[in-house]
Amino acid sequence: MSNSMSKQNINLSILIPTINEEENLRKMLPELQRRYPGASLYVLDDGSTDGTGQYLNELTSGDFPSPLYFLSRDKNIIVTNDKNFNEKDFKKDQLGIRDTAGLTASVLDGLALVKTDKFAVIDADFQHPLELIGKMNAELKNNELVTAYRSKLEGFPIYRKLLTKFGTFISNSALPRHNRVRDPLSGAFAGKTQYIRRLIFNTGAFKPAGFKILFDLLKILPGSVRTGEVGYEFNMRSRGESKIGWKQLWVFFKSVFTPKTAKFYSGLGLFGTILATGLILTFIYGDIAISDSFRSISANNPGINRFFKIITDYGNTFYYILFISFILYGLIRKKKKYLKIALIYIVVQIIASGIITGGLKIAVGRPRPKPAARYKSFKHDFFTDSSEYKSFPSGHTTDAFGSAGVLWGFISSYSLSFLTFGFSMLIGNSRIFVGSHYPLDVLAGMTVGFLTGLIITFKKL
C-alpha cells in the first residue's frame, strides 16, 4: 500500500455499532486491519451476550496492530490497546446517552472519542461491503459528509424493497429540501469529525430521537454543507441479529413525523383501512345483496330500525350544534382558532357536500334501494333531477365524514378523533339500514367527506 493511502487510513476512524455479532467481528476486524492498516477501529457494543466482549478483550490485550477500542456501553467501560487513551474522555458522556440503548446512541458514544480528522460508520453484519469505507473516505476530500445509498437489493423479497422505498420517501418528505439524499436511512456514512461533532455536540440542534443517526443528522445540516453520495450493493445478512425492533421503529416514526403530520397520516391510514375493507366486502358479497341484508335485519328488528332511524335523522345535528358552539365560544372568548375551524367546516361542507357530492348525485343518477325494488329494475337516470335517483354518493355520509375530517385535524386527542370517526361510520351505516343507500354510496360519501375535511384542515391550521 502506498504511503499516501497509509496516511489516509491513519487519519480515519471506523465506527462499528454491534450487538451479538461475535462471528462477524472475528472475520471483519482482521479484514478491516488488512484493508485499512492504521485506521482506528471502534466496536460500539450495546449489550452483547454471545462472547463479543471476551473476543475484544483478547484482541486489545494481544498484538492487534491497529488502534482498537471496545465500548461496552451497558457496562459503562471501555477497553483499548491505545496506551495514550484517557478513560475520562469516555466517562464524560456529554449528551447523557450512556444508558440509552440503540444504534444512534452507540455511534454518538464512539464519535465523541474519535481523534482522527475523518470517520466512517458501517454495520458489522457484512450488509455493507468493506470496500465501501474506502469509497466514502475518498469522497470526503471534497465533502463534509458522505452518505451511502443502496443501489441494488439483490435477493431481497418484494415487500422489503417496497418498504425501503416507502421509508426513503417518508424520510425525505420530513427533511429540508437541500438535505434530501438517495438513502437517508442508510447505516453507512462518513464525515469530517470536527465539523460533524460540532453540529451534534455544540450547536444544541441535534436531537438523538431515532434509531438512524444519519437521518437525525440530515435534519440539522445547514444548506451550505457539501454532501457526497456513494452507491453500493446491499448484501443479505449472513449472521448476527438486527438492531431494529418494534421499539426502534416506533422511535423512528416519532422522529420523522411532527405531531401534526403524525395525526394526518394516521387519519389517512384509518380511512384507507376502512375503505379497503368496505370495498373488499362489497366485491365479495355484492352491493345490492348487502343492502338487502341490512334492510331485512332492520325490518325484522323494530329496535334496530328505531335506533338507526334516530341516527340517520339526528346524527349530523350533533355536528351542527358542535360547530355552532365553536363559533359562540370563539366570539365570547375571542379565540380566533375556534372561529377559523368553524369557517373551515363551512368551506368543507360547501365543497364536499354541495359541489362534489351534489354534482355526482345528479351526474351518476343511481337509483336508491327502495325505488329500485319497487320498479324491479336497476337503471341509472344520468343527469337526473329526481331525488329517487340521487343515491351516489350518500349526502348524509359526506356531511358526517366531512365533519370527522375537520375534527381529526383540529382535535389533538386520538381517542376523541377515533370516536368522531366511529360516530360518522354509524351515520353512514344507518343510511343502508333505513333503505336510502347502498354500501358503495356510503363508501363514496366517506371518501369525499373525510378526505376533503382532512386535507383542507391540515393545510389551513
Question: For residue range 414-428, what is the model confidence (pLDDT) as tens digits?
Answer: 999 999 999 999 999
Contact 82, 67 (CB under 8 A): yes
Position 242 pLDDT exceeds 90: no
CA–CA distance from 150 to each of 235, 244, 322, 398 (Å)? 9, 18, 51, 44
Q: CA 285 → CA 76, 296, 407, 410, 446, distances in Å?
A: 61, 15, 33, 37, 20
Q: Is the peptide bond before 367 cis (omega within 30 degrees of 0)?
A: no
Residue appearing with cell numbers 449472513: 238
Question: pLDDT value at position 3?
Answer: 45
- Residue 118 confidence class, pLDDT cut points 50, 70, 90: very high
Determine what percent of the chain is predicted with pLDDT higher than 70. Answer: 87
Question: How many other C-beta atoms can be found within 10 angstroms of the C-beta atom of residue 306?
Answer: 11
Compute the distance between CA of residue 461 and CA of residue 96 in angstroms, rounded to an integer: 36
- Identify the pLDDT of residue 237: 54
Quick check: 229 and 147 in contact, CB under 8 A? yes
* Residue-wise burial string across 136-175, b where 16 or more C-beta atoms lie within 10 A, e elsewhere: bbebbeebbbbbbbbeebeeeeeeeeeebeebbebbbebb
**What are the residue boundaries of the structural domains of the chain, listed by start?**
3-256, 259-460
d(CA 92, CA 183): 32
Work out the pLDDT band at 87, boundaries 50, 70, 90.
Answer: confident
Which pLDDT belongs to residue 261? 81
- Say if CB 398 and CB 319 are below 8 A apart: no
Structure confidence at residue 172 as a pLDDT band (50, 70, 90): confident
| CA distance to 24, 172, 244, 285, per residue, from 439 (Å) | 56, 38, 41, 11
Measuring CA to CA, how many Å separate 326 from each of 275, 339, 410, 414?
30, 7, 12, 19
d(CA 32, CA 128): 13
Q: How far is CA 247 from CA 72, 172, 188, 251, 254, in A?
A: 21, 21, 21, 6, 11
Using DSSP's 3-state secondary structure scheme, residue 66 falls into coil
Q: Does the pLDDT of residue 2 top 50, yes or no?
A: no
**Higher confidence at residue 163 or residue 134?**
134
Q: How many other C-beta atoms can be found within 10 angstroms of the C-beta atom of residue 121?
A: 28
377 pLDDT higher than 80: no
Residue type, 17: P
Q: What are the grid coordinates assigned to 72, written together?
A: 461496552
With a cut of 80, say whether residue 372 has pLDDT above it: no
Residue-wise pLDDT tens digits, 246-289 = 555 555 665 666 778 888 889 999 999 999 999 999 999 999 99
**Does pLDDT of 191 surpass 60?**
yes
What tens digit of pLDDT does each residue of 390-441 get? Answer: 899 999 999 999 999 999 999 989 999 999 999 999 999 999 999 999 999 9
Closest CA to 25 of 62, 1, 57: 57
Euclidean distance between CA atoms 434 and 317, whole angstroms: 18
Q: Tell me the mean pLDDT in the region 80-93.
A: 79
Question: What are 130-161's pLDDT values in tens digits?
Answer: 999 999 999 999 999 999 998 776 666 676 67
Q: Is 118 exposed, middle or buried (0-12, 13-18, 19+ CB in 10 A)?
A: buried
- 41-74 pLDDT, tens digit per residue, is 999 998 888 899 999 999 999 999 999 999 988 8
Confidence of residue 444 (pLDDT cuts 50, 70, 90): very high
114 vs 9, 68, 69, 210, 221, CA distance in Å? Answer: 14, 11, 10, 22, 20
pTM: 0.63
Q: Please report the pLDDT score of residue 379 as a whole number.
A: 79
Going by the DSSP 8-state scheme, the letter that residue 237 receives in this structure is P
Query: What span, in angstroms and rounded, lies between the C-alpha atoms of 232 and 42?
Result: 22
Per-residue buried b or exposed e for 435-461, using 16+ beta carbons within 10 Å of the residue's own CB: bbbbbbbbbbbbbbbbbbbbbbbbeee
Grid cell locating 237: 445478512
The CATH superfamily label for domain 3-256 reads Spore Coat Polysaccharide Biosynthesis Protein SpsA; Chain A (3.90.550.10)
Longest dimension (CA), the chain: 95
Greater confidence (89 vs 34) lies with: 34
Beta pairing class for 118-121 and 145-152: unpaired
Given a cut of 60, is residue 301 above it in pLDDT? yes
Residues 106/121, Cβ–Cβ less than 8 Å: no
Placement of cell 343492502 in the chain: 291
| pLDDT over 90, % of the chain | 56
Q: What does pLDDT average to over the chain?
A: 86
